Amino acid sequence: YCCALKALQEFGKDEGFADDRDIFNSTGAFVVPMQMRLVELYFGHLAAKRVPWNGGEKHLSVSSISVVTSAITSLHKANRVKVNDNVDLYMKQFVKGYRRTIAEKKQANEYPMMEGKAFLGKDGLTALIEEGIKLGPGLRRPGGEVIEGE
Protein backbone atom coordinates (compact mmCIF):
# COMPACT_ATOMS: atom_id res chain seq x y z
CA TYR A 1 0.00 0.00 0.00
CA CYS A 2 3.03 2.23 0.36
CA CYS A 3 3.13 3.12 -3.37
CA ALA A 4 -0.59 3.88 -3.48
CA LEU A 5 -0.33 6.17 -0.46
CA LYS A 6 2.77 7.86 -1.83
CA ALA A 7 0.97 8.57 -5.12
CA LEU A 8 -1.99 9.99 -3.18
CA GLN A 9 0.38 12.11 -1.10
CA GLU A 10 2.12 13.50 -4.20
CA PHE A 11 -1.24 14.18 -5.83
CA GLY A 12 -2.46 16.06 -2.74
CA LYS A 13 0.66 18.22 -2.65
CA ASP A 14 0.47 18.89 -6.41
CA GLU A 15 -3.15 19.97 -5.95
CA GLY A 16 -2.16 22.59 -3.38
CA PHE A 17 -2.97 20.77 -0.15
CA ALA A 18 0.64 20.78 1.15
CA ASP A 19 -0.06 23.56 3.67
CA ASP A 20 -3.57 22.41 4.55
CA ARG A 21 -3.26 21.08 8.12
CA ASP A 22 -6.56 19.18 7.76
CA ILE A 23 -4.89 17.07 5.06
CA PHE A 24 -1.17 16.95 5.97
CA ASN A 25 0.53 17.46 9.32
CA SER A 26 3.65 19.59 9.76
CA THR A 27 5.89 16.67 8.72
CA GLY A 28 3.94 16.08 5.49
CA ALA A 29 2.19 12.92 6.66
CA PHE A 30 -1.54 12.41 6.20
CA VAL A 31 -3.86 13.55 8.95
CA VAL A 32 -6.34 10.80 9.76
CA PRO A 33 -9.23 10.54 9.52
CA MET A 34 -8.69 11.56 5.91
CA GLN A 35 -10.70 14.42 4.46
CA MET A 36 -13.44 13.70 1.93
CA ARG A 37 -12.38 16.52 -0.41
CA LEU A 38 -8.97 14.91 -1.01
CA VAL A 39 -10.45 11.43 -1.49
CA GLU A 40 -13.10 12.67 -3.96
CA LEU A 41 -10.57 14.66 -5.95
CA TYR A 42 -8.11 11.76 -6.10
CA PHE A 43 -10.69 9.15 -7.09
CA GLY A 44 -11.90 11.50 -9.83
CA HIS A 45 -8.32 11.78 -11.03
CA LEU A 46 -7.97 7.98 -11.05
CA ALA A 47 -11.21 7.53 -12.98
CA ALA A 48 -9.97 9.91 -15.69
CA LYS A 49 -6.47 8.41 -15.83
CA ARG A 50 -5.39 6.31 -18.82
CA VAL A 51 -2.48 3.89 -18.97
CA PRO A 52 -0.66 2.48 -22.02
CA TRP A 53 -2.06 -0.79 -23.35
CA ASN A 54 -1.06 -2.69 -26.52
CA GLY A 55 -0.14 0.43 -28.47
CA GLY A 56 -3.12 2.38 -27.16
CA GLU A 57 -4.54 3.39 -23.81
CA LYS A 58 -7.06 2.02 -21.35
CA HIS A 59 -8.69 3.04 -18.07
CA LEU A 60 -7.14 1.81 -14.84
CA SER A 61 -8.24 -1.65 -13.77
CA VAL A 62 -10.78 -2.11 -11.00
CA SER A 63 -8.08 -3.72 -8.88
CA SER A 64 -5.92 -0.58 -9.19
CA ILE A 65 -8.76 1.50 -7.75
CA SER A 66 -9.46 -1.11 -5.05
CA VAL A 67 -5.82 -1.00 -3.93
CA VAL A 68 -6.17 2.72 -3.19
CA THR A 69 -9.28 2.05 -1.11
CA SER A 70 -7.48 -0.69 0.81
CA ALA A 71 -4.41 1.51 1.30
CA ILE A 72 -6.50 4.33 2.78
CA THR A 73 -8.29 1.87 5.08
CA SER A 74 -4.98 0.32 6.11
CA LEU A 75 -3.50 3.74 6.92
CA HIS A 76 -6.40 4.41 9.25
CA LYS A 77 -6.12 0.99 10.90
CA ALA A 78 -2.38 1.48 11.43
CA ASN A 79 -3.16 4.75 13.21
CA ARG A 80 -6.06 3.16 15.10
CA VAL A 81 -8.46 5.73 13.70
CA LYS A 82 -11.80 4.90 12.11
CA VAL A 83 -12.30 5.95 8.49
CA ASN A 84 -14.98 8.67 8.33
CA ASP A 85 -18.31 7.06 7.48
CA ASN A 86 -18.84 9.39 4.52
CA VAL A 87 -15.35 8.63 3.13
CA ASP A 88 -15.85 4.88 3.62
CA LEU A 89 -19.25 4.95 1.92
CA TYR A 90 -17.91 7.09 -0.93
CA MET A 91 -15.00 4.72 -1.61
CA LYS A 92 -17.25 1.63 -1.57
CA GLN A 93 -19.80 3.24 -3.90
CA PHE A 94 -17.08 4.54 -6.19
CA VAL A 95 -15.47 1.10 -6.58
CA LYS A 96 -18.88 -0.48 -7.16
CA GLY A 97 -19.73 2.07 -9.86
CA TYR A 98 -16.29 1.86 -11.44
CA ARG A 99 -16.55 -1.95 -11.55
CA ARG A 100 -19.91 -1.62 -13.32
CA THR A 101 -18.48 0.93 -15.81
CA ILE A 102 -15.52 -1.30 -16.69
CA ALA A 103 -17.85 -4.31 -17.07
CA GLU A 104 -20.00 -2.30 -19.50
CA LYS A 105 -16.89 -1.25 -21.43
CA LYS A 106 -15.79 -4.87 -21.64
CA GLN A 107 -19.21 -5.88 -22.93
CA ALA A 108 -19.00 -3.18 -25.60
CA ASN A 109 -15.45 -4.28 -26.53
CA GLU A 110 -14.08 -0.91 -25.39
CA TYR A 111 -11.86 -2.42 -22.70
CA PRO A 112 -9.52 -5.43 -22.79
CA MET A 113 -11.15 -8.56 -21.43
CA MET A 114 -7.98 -9.69 -19.69
CA GLU A 115 -6.49 -7.66 -16.88
CA GLY A 116 -3.12 -8.60 -15.51
CA LYS A 117 -2.24 -12.19 -16.42
CA ALA A 118 -2.76 -13.49 -19.93
CA PHE A 119 -3.30 -16.96 -21.30
CA LEU A 120 -0.24 -19.03 -22.10
CA GLY A 121 0.31 -18.86 -25.85
CA LYS A 122 1.08 -21.74 -28.21
CA ASP A 123 4.85 -21.11 -28.09
CA GLY A 124 4.88 -21.08 -24.29
CA LEU A 125 2.81 -24.24 -24.08
CA THR A 126 5.08 -25.98 -26.61
CA ALA A 127 8.17 -25.02 -24.60
CA LEU A 128 6.60 -26.39 -21.39
CA ILE A 129 5.67 -29.68 -23.09
CA GLU A 130 9.17 -30.07 -24.54
CA GLU A 131 10.75 -29.51 -21.12
CA GLY A 132 8.36 -32.03 -19.58
CA ILE A 133 9.25 -34.62 -22.19
CA LYS A 134 12.98 -34.07 -21.54
CA LEU A 135 12.43 -34.65 -17.81
CA GLY A 136 10.42 -37.81 -18.39
CA PRO A 137 8.23 -39.51 -15.78
CA GLY A 138 8.94 -39.17 -12.06
CA LEU A 139 10.29 -36.37 -9.98
CA ARG A 140 13.89 -35.21 -10.23
CA ARG A 141 16.22 -33.50 -7.82
CA PRO A 142 18.01 -30.31 -9.01
CA GLY A 143 21.06 -32.39 -10.10
CA GLY A 144 18.86 -34.57 -12.32
CA GLU A 145 18.70 -37.60 -10.00
CA VAL A 146 15.33 -39.37 -10.24
CA ILE A 147 13.34 -39.52 -7.01
CA GLU A 148 11.72 -42.94 -6.69
CA GLY A 149 8.85 -43.57 -4.31
CA GLU A 150 9.51 -40.71 -1.91
pLDDT digits (tens, 9 = 90+) for 31-66: 999 999 999 999 999 999 999 887 888 999 999 999
Task: Report the residue count for the chain.
Answer: 150
Q: What is the pLDDT of residue 43?
A: 98
* More confident: 56 or 114: 56
Model confidence at 150: pLDDT above 50? no
Apex CA 96: angle with CA 92 and CA 99, to 5°?
A: 140
CA dist 3 and 6 (Å) reads: 5
Model confidence at 18: pLDDT above 90? yes
- Do residues 38 and 23 touch, judged by C-beta distance below 8 A? yes
Cis peptide before 112 (omega within 30 of 0): no
The reply to whether the predicted model has a pTM over 0.85 is no
Range of lowest pLDDT (9-13, 20-24, 131-135): 131-135
**Looking at 32-131, which runs of residues are DSSP E strands?**
50-53, 56-59
Q: What is the pLDDT of residue 122?
A: 83
Q: pLDDT exceeding 90 applies to what percent of the chain?
A: 63
